[in-house]
Chains A and B, each alone.
Chain A
Amino acid sequence: MVREGPGGGTGNEERLERWISYLLIAGVLISLLLEVAGIVLYALASGSDAVSQGAAVFVRGRNFFAFLARAFYEVARGPRGLHLMLLGCALLILTPYVRVVLSAAYFASIRDFKYLSFTLFVLVILTISLLCH
C-alpha cells in the first residue's frame, strides 16, 4: 500500500513502523517478565518486599554498556532475584537505543540518505553519552 502524503510525496514508513513496534513490544515484555520474576524471587529470598537501602541493591558502572554486560554475566552465573531485576531494567533501558539503530538500518536500506544522516547523528551522540559520564 502506498500512501500519499499531503504534498503529493509519499510518507510510507510502514515497514519501519512494523519493525519498531515489534521490537518495542518484545523488549518491553521480556524486561517486564525478568523484573516480575526478579521481584518475586527477591521477596521470597529476603522474606520481605521492602525497598532496600543495602549496598547490594545500588548499581554502579563505568558506562551503560559495561552495566549491560555485567547484568548478563551475573544472571548467567546463577539467576538471583536482584540480578534478574537488574537485567530487566538494563534491557528496558536498551530499547530506545536499539530503536535508533533499527531506524538507521531502515533508512540505509531504502537509501534515504537525508534521514540516514540524521539518525546516525543522533546515534553517535547517544553512543557517546552512554560511553562516558
Chain B
Amino acid sequence: MMDMISLLMISVPVGFIGSLTGLGGASILIPLLVFFGVPVKEAIASAMVSVVATSSGSAAAYVRQRLANLKIAMFLEMFTSVGAIIGAMITTWIAPVYLYFFFAAFLMTSFVGRTAKGPTEAPAPGKGGEALAAWLALEGRYFDESTRETVVYRARRPLLGGLGMMVAGLAAGMLGIGAGAFKVTVQESVLRLPAKVASTTSNFIVGMTALAGTSVYLGSGLLNVTLMAPMAVGSTIGALAGGRVLNRLGGRTLRTLFFSVIVLLIVQMLYKGVVSW
C-alpha cells in the first residue's frame, strides 16, 4: 500500500489534466490507484472526491473568465441527472457489455472530421433548434487569451444535445463512471460549442454528477479517508493550476491532450467490454 505523500503527488497531474480536458479524471486516477495496490472498489469510491476537487478547484477560474456557461450547464444538468437516475434503475435490464462498446464507438466519433480545425475556432454552425436555443439563452461570449479574440457563440440543437446528455447520464449511472468524455463530445459535436466552453462547462457538470453518487458510496462503506484526503489535496492543487492556464493554451495543445486521453479511454472501454463479454 502506498503512502499519502506519493498519493498526493500522483493526484496533482490528474487534477491538472482533468480540469483542462473537462473529463473529471477518475478514469485516469482509478487505474493508477489500482496499479499502486489500492483495492479496485475502494479506488472507484474514493476517486469521487478527486472528481469533485478537480471540478470545484478549476471552476472558480473558468466562471470568472466566462468560459464555463452556467445556463448551459444548468440546462444540460437536468438531462444528465434524469439519465443517471434511469441508469441506476435499469442496470439490471441491459448488460453493461453493450454500453462499453457503445461508449467506445461514441468516443471514436469525436475524431471524425475534427482534425483540421483548431478547437478554439468557432465551429461551423449546425442547423436547427435555433429558436429554442435563443429562448433558453444558451449563448455567451468569452475572450480567448491564446488568440486574443472575443469568441461569440450560441448552442445549436439543444434538444438533441439534451438527449445526448441523458445518454451520458445513463452511462454514468449504469457503469459508475463520470462520462465526462461523453459530455464534452456532445457539447462539441451536437451543441457545436467552442472547445474551451465545452470542456469547462463539462468540468462544471461533472462535479454535480459526482456529488449525486456520494450517498451510494457512503452506504457501501468503501470510502477511505486516508485515500480521499491526499487525493483531494493533490487534485485541488492540479485543478487550481489548470484553471489558471487553460485560457492561455493554444488549440493544438488542448486538442492533443484531449485526444490522448480519449484514446486511453477507448482502449479502457474496449478492454472492459471484451473482459465482461
- Residues of chain A at the chain B interface (Cβ within 8 Å): 3, 5-7, 9, 11, 13, 16-18, 20-22, 24-25, 27-28, 31-32, 35-36, 38-39, 42-43, 48-53, 57-64, 67, 82, 85-86, 88-89, 92-93, 95-97, 99-100, 103, 114-115, 118-119, 121-122, 125-126, 129-133
Contact = CB atoms under 8 A, between A and B. Distances in A.
A39 B52 CA distance: 19
Contacts of B5: 49
| Best-buried of B5, B57, B75, B222 by chain A (most CB within 10 Å) | B57
A61 B59 CA distance: 28
Contacts of A58: 221-225
A57 B236 contact: no
A3 B66 CA distance: 12
A130 B230 CA distance: 24
A51 B227 contact: yes
A132 B7 CA distance: 31
Chain B binding site: helix, strand, loop or mixed by DSSP?
A: helix
B20 interface: no
Shortest 7 CB-CB contacts between residues of A and residues of B: A85-B229, A133-B219, A24-B60, A133-B215, A96-B207, A61-B218, A21-B60
A93 B141 contact: no
A3 B150 CA distance: 13
Interface stretch (B89-97, B100-108, B132-140, B190-198): B132-140
A100 to B, nearest CB: 7
Interface of B: 1-5, 7-8, 38, 48-49, 52-53, 55-57, 59-61, 63-64, 66, 70-71, 74-75, 77-78, 81-82, 84-85, 134, 136-137, 139-141, 152-154, 207-208, 210-216, 218-219, 221-230, 232-233, 236-237, 240
Contacts of B208: 96, 99-100, 122, 126
21 contacts: A5-B137, A5-B140, A9-B139, A11-B137, A24-B57, A27-B56, A28-B56, A39-B4, A48-B3, A59-B224, A61-B215, A62-B219, A86-B225, A88-B229, A93-B211, A122-B77, A126-B208, A129-B212, A129-B214, A130-B212, A133-B218
B81 A92 contact: no
Nearest to B62: A21
A80 B140 CA distance: 47
Contacts of A62: 218-219
B93 to A, nearest CB: 20
Contact of A7 (B84, B154, B215, B222): B154
Given A6-B153, A92-B52, A126-B212, A50 B64 contact: no
A38 B229 CA distance: 8
B268 to A, nearest CB: 24
A11 B141 contact: yes
B68 to A, nearest CB: 9
Contacts of B212: 125-126, 129-130
Contacts of A129: 81, 84-85, 212-215
B75 A118 contact: yes
